[in-house]
């Protein structure tokens, strides 16, 4: 029996495939009356498919992991307020999690080995992270959508351009692809929240200008914490069921404000403190580029792409996991995100994009821009034989070329094909993987996201490699904060894994064998 009061929430899935059975299409909501009318169902389905084809929505099914058909929900409603959308979605997802725990809470998800315990919990399934999932062969999917799929369906600032980060934020929070009007409304809302108190600038100014940009950025985020709505609400005794609402307010405020803090740090360190105010006529990515001092339309497009693809990478990486861990203690989004930034600043995480560009420039300094393939091979071997790694290659999870690398490569082929450093990166793509494969010590010899981003930024004038990780941090605020809202909405508990000693492991393994 269908509840008429909830009929507008019922979703019917339609699918149409090409001759190879490859293309899934969207599904749309039907009114209760239409559910009992087969003719109306047929008419609506034909109409929907026609609209999708006219918009040239191309969703390519690439994975056998997700089965033969995946579904994409295209947001077609007129509701422009993101908060009200979440208010409708959250009770449904709370019941979904409750049912999952009640019916399948004792299902085993795998076996923990001694290697996993010693090796940093690598590969253990131990976190719930709704906003994205990383597959070793496919790469990252944002709410089920690959990067190429997001590029096809998310709204853009210009025809055929890169996705707007605001659109990805909507997708991560709701699981739905927004329309342009919804993205524009969210962009305006973020602009209305983008006011940074004076004490934040004073806190940053108290540090020496020589302090690392990530130190200054994290300090600014901590200074923002005094305005936390979650902390205020918690102190007043807000019920647990409402925790997500002040978390939402903090998260959107934080996402709106971090580009201002980050650009302030950049202009303070590298541009003699000549601060550029925000331009409310610009979208999130373009405005960030503008405040940094780069108004080239191509640089604005790069910033939209950069923020989008760096926003989230499931929950097991250091910055995402740190935010989740700290937030599980009911620390507010500012404290949680600041902790994540401190993890991101490590050379094995976000600092890698800085090291890649510096290494590439060292190749040019020693061998020149027009380096031959054999010379490049010799330099790679020289790096490896000195006990160092070739930065930008390999990944803890991926076992193929990072899709984030590939979309940046496509951007470069479109906008800067003759750039000498891009041509060097292309040669490295040919030279390094066979060498690493020959060594036989790496599971993934392919380039990752960091192998390319620095070269693109450098081309458009953002040459200060020490600052690159701050850009990564601004991007990561979108994914981390989206998941924090859902952490609160789903009532996820304090994270408390069990640790053991080497003696415990030795004794256990002796008994097991």
Q: Which residues are catalytic?
A: 349, 395, 450
Q: Tell how strand 145-146 and strand 139-142 pair up.
A: antiparallel
Show Cβ contacts of residue 6 under 8 Å, excluding neighbours closer than 6 positions.
none
Structure tokens at 483: 């998941």
Strands, E assignment, 44-91: 72-73
Distances (CA, A) of 114 to 21, 307, 507: 43, 37, 12
- 3-state SS, residue 54: helix
8 A C-beta contact, residue 327 and residue 301 = no
Three-state SS annotation for 448-493: CCHHHHHHHHHHCCCCCHHHHHHHHHHHHHHHHHHHHHHHHHCCCC
Structure tokens at 368: 């020149």
Work out the angle at residue 457's Cα, subtended by the Cα atoms of residues 454 and 463, and round it to the nearest 5 degrees. Answer: 85
CA distance linking residue 89 with residue 82, whole number of Å: 11
The DSSP secondary structure of 23-47, one letter per residue, reads ---EEEE--HHHHT-HHHHHHHHHH
Between 165-174 and 297-309, two packed helices, what is the crossing angle to 10 degrees? 20
Q: Backbone phi, then psi, for 26, in 5-degree steps?
A: -75, 165
Structure tokens at 354: 């800085």
Specify the DSSP element, H or E, that contains 28.
Answer: strand 26-29
Nearest to 59 by CA among 175, 147, 138, 156: 147
Buried b (16+ CB within 10 A) or exposed e, 84-118: ebbeebbeeeeeebeeeeeeeeeeeeeeeeeeebe
Adjacent-strand bridge partners of 393: 447
As a 3-state breakdown, the chain gives helix, strand, coil percent values, each rounded to 5, of: 60, 5, 35
- 3-state SS, residue 126: coil
- Go through the chain and tell me how many residues it has: 513
8 A C-beta contact, residue 356 and residue 392 = yes
Show Cβ contacts of residue 410 under 8 Å, excluding neighbours closer than 6 positions.
none
Q: For residue 366, with 0-12 CB atoms within 10 Å meaning exposed, 13-18 middle and 19 or more buried, which class applies?
A: exposed
Adjacent-strand bridge partners of 101: none
């Amino acid at each position: 029996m269908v509840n008429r009061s909830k009929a507008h929430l019922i979703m019917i899935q339609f699918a149409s495939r090409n001759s190879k059975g490859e293309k899934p299409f969207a599904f749309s909501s039907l009114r209760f009356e239409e559910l009992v009318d087969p003719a109306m169902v047929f008419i609506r389905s034909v109409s929907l498919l026609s609209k999708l084809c006219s918009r040239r929505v191309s969703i390519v099914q690439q994975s056998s992991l997700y089965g033969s058909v995946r579904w994409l929900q295209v947001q077609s409603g007129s509701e422009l307020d993101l908060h009200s959308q979440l208010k409708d979605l959250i009770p449904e997802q709370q019941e979904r999690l409750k049912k999952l725990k009640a019916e399948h809470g004792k299902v085993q998800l795998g076996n923990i080995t001694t290697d996993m315990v010693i090796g940093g919990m690598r590969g253990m399934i131990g976190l719930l992270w709704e906003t994205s999932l990383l597959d070793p062969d496919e790469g990252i999917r944002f709410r089920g959508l690959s990067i190429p799929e997001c590029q096809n369906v998310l709204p853009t600032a210009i025809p055929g351009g890169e996705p707007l980060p605001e659109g990805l934020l909507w997708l991560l929070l709701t699981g739905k692809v927004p329309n342009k009007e919804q993205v524009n409304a969210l962009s305006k809302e973020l602009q209305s929240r983008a006011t940074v108190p004076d004490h934040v600038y004073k806190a940053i100014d108290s540090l020496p200008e020589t302090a690392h940009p990530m130190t200054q950025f994290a300090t600014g985020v901590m200074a923002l914490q005094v305005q936390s709505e979650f902390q205020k609400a918690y102190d007043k005794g807000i019920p647990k069921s409402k925790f997500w609402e002040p978390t939402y307010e903090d998260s959107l405020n934080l996402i709106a404000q971090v580009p201002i803090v980050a650009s302030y740090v950049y202009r303070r360190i590298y541009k003699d403190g000549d601060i550029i105010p925000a331009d409310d006529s610009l979208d999130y990515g373009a405005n960030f580029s503008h405040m940094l001092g780069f108004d080239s339309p191509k640089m604005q497009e790069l910033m939209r792409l950069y923020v989008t693809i760096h926003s989230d990478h499931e929950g097991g990486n250091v910055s995402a996991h740190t935010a989740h861990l700290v937030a599980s203690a009911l620390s507010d989004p500012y404290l949680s995100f600041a902790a994540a930034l401190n993890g991101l600043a490590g050379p094995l995480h976000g600092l890698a994009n800085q090291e890649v560009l510096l290494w590439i420039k060292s190749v040019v300094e020693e061998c020149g821009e027009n380096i031959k393939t054999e010379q490049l091979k010799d330099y790679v071997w020289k790096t490896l034989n000195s006990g160092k790694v070739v930065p930008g290659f390999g990944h803890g999870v991926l076992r193929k070329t990072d899709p984030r690398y590939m979309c940046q490569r496509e951007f470069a082929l479109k906008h800067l094909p003759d750039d000498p450093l891009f041509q060097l990166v292309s040669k490295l793509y040919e030279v390094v993987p066979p060498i690493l494969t020959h060594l036989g010590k790496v599971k993934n010899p392919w380039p990752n996201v960091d192998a390319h981003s620095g070269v693109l930024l450098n081309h458009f004038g953002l040459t200060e490699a020490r600052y690159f990780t701050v850009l990564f941090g601004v991007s990561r605020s979108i994914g981390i904060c989206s998941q924090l809202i859902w952490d609160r909405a789903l009532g996820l508990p304090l994270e408390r894994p069990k640790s053991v000693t080497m003696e415990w492991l030795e004794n256990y393994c002796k008994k097991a064998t």
